[in-house]
Amino acid sequence: MATLYRCGTPTDWLCPCGKVARALRREGIPYTEVVVPRRRAGREEVQALSGQRRVPMLVLEGEAICDSRRIVEHLEFRRGRDSAAGG
């Protein structure tokens, strides 16, 4: 199961965190969400996992991936890899 660390924006259409949530649903990857505070002072867990305090951050198979663009690219790569292995 994946864990998405994200901001508290109440919709998935207004921020990069929502972009990642939509990509996870599209790929059919189950995930839990951890909403982190807006202020960077409350993001110690994010920093401990990734070395930085920004969100979105995805922890998938023990790997912390930061930046919405990189996360979406990683999910697309996984899809391609999984399709090639299965076919």
* Domains with residue ranges and CATH for the chain: 2-86 (3.40.30.10)
Query: For residue range 42-66, what is the model confidence (pLDDT) as tens digits?
Result: 899 999 999 999 999 999 999 999 9
**CA pair distance 32, 46, nearest whole angstrom:** 15
For 60-82, what is the mean pLDDT? 92
Nearest-5° Cα angle at 29, 23 to 39: 60
Residue 23: pLDDT band with limits 50, 70, 90? very high
Let me know: does 32 contact 1? Beta carbons within 8 Å: yes
Q: How confident is the model at residue 87 (pLDDT cuts 50, 70, 90)?
A: low
pTM for the model stands at 0.89
Alpha carbon distance 79, 73 (integer Å): 10
